[in-house]
Amino acid sequence: MRIAWGPSGPGDGPIGRRVAITGLGVLAHAGIGVDAFWEGLAAEPRPSTERRVENFDPTQFFGPKEVRRADRFAQFAVAAAEEALADAGHPEVDPARAAVWIGTGVGGLQSLEDQVHVLAERGPRRVSPFLVTMMMANAAPALVSIRQGWRGPCETTVTACAAGTQAIGNAARLIATGRCTIALAGGAEAAITPTAKAGFTNMTAVSSSGISRPFDRHRDGFVMGEGAGLLVLEDLEHAEARGARIYAELAGAASNADANHITAPSEGGSGAVVCMETAIADAGLQASDIAHINAHGTSTPLNDAAEAEAIAKVFGRPGPPVTSIKGVNGHGLGAAGGIEAVASVLSIARRQIPPTGGLEDLEFDLDVVRSTPRPFEPGPVLSNSFGFGGHNGCLVFVPYRRGN
């Protein structure tokens, strides 16, 4: 990663320390845990107005009192963190040089809604004294840092659907600059609540058919999802010295704003174009080096059209193979970027690109992976997240090569 940018862009700055991915943790509709998740991405999605994380048992991670004092989104984050750290081999690290950076779009909305009902029905004295700590957006990284005893930076990015992606990019800078040795980073969300569903439905963002069909001519909106996806980011030299299994490297990251509209992307995907180009330059690569794009691909009319046009402008037509796992998982909002980062890394590690569920009639001149997984010769992978408010985030993952 370029840790300082020169006058003409990220390629002019000094190269930072290399950032390895040594652990993965994920909970999504496709599955709980890396193996179940990866297998689920290839399954045929069934029509549903929501894509919840099924069979999640928080009592595996929390005691009876604790489980009532943590919102579902924070429970997801704790569970994903436990899996990711176990996957990384529970590395020993100076707690002051260990960071937690978890994004969310909404935070503890279910807890807030529940306590609003308590207030209306039973009065103010019956509102939970734990409401504030359950609903606050920073509850997820706070709980993770407390459990792990990590005393480095502990932060939250709240940038709608770009939150998980931007959190990973922000955490990676801490390692690239030498501030931290290790970080847990990604996104967590559990916002499938009655009020949120009504709000998204009334703004016509949600699919009326209950089918998520990214880049399909007949797409009619997204299907709400939930979950968490976290990466263990580690200074490459530290990871190599302890003999860690290294999935891939995070070579580049970028974020910017459309400065256009509170929900609509900028015309022609101009913000997305700049964000993708900046992330690629940050990785020291050219657009022609990108071997696969894990698209934002929400299944909404405006977003898919803007992203497709942006991809064409950066890569030409049809460009690299593209997939959107939202066809299976639904849209995890602030968790989406973290979950999709896990999928991007697994595409490198398992040499396969998952299909775009729900897609039947492709509208755009893109090389979209459909129906079944596609074999993949590992190369640089670009993961996109573009959120309401014009928040854009992109990550570039590359295969690990010792000594480069």
Q: Would you name the residues annotated as active-site residues?
A: 161, 296, 331
| DSSP class per residue in 381-401 | EEEEEEETTTEEEEEEEE---
Handedness of CA 111, 117, 121, 123 (dihedral sign): positive
Contacts of 176 (CB under 8 A, 6+ apart): 1, 3, 16, 17, 18, 19
Please, which residues have CB within 8 angstroms of residue 187's CB and are 6 or more apart in sequence? Answer: 102, 103, 104, 163, 164, 165, 167, 228, 229, 332, 334, 335, 336, 337, 338, 339
Amino acid identity at 312: A
Q: Is 289 exposed, middle or buried (0-12, 13-18, 19+ CB in 10 A)?
A: middle
Write out the DSSP string of 327-376: HHH-B-GGGHHHHHHHHHHHHHHHTEE---TT--SB-SSS-B--SS-EE-
Q: Say whether 109 sits in a helix, a strand or coil.
A: helix
Tokens 């896990």, residue?
A: 342
262: Cα within 13 Å, side-chain hemisphere: 1
Tell me the backbone φ, ψ of residue 103, rounded to 5 degrees.
Answer: -90, 155
DSSP assignment of 264-292 equals SPPGGGHHHHHHHHHHHHHTT--GGG--E
C-alpha to C-alpha distance for 76 and 80, rounded to whole angstroms: 6
Q: Using DSSP, state whether 164 is helix, strand or coil.
A: helix
- Rounded distance, CA 200 to CA 161, Å? 13
CB 276 within 8 Å of CB 303: no
* Nearest Cα residue to 355 out of 327, 384, 333, 383: 327
CA 337 to mean position of chain CA atoms: 2
Structure tokens at 315: 């890569």
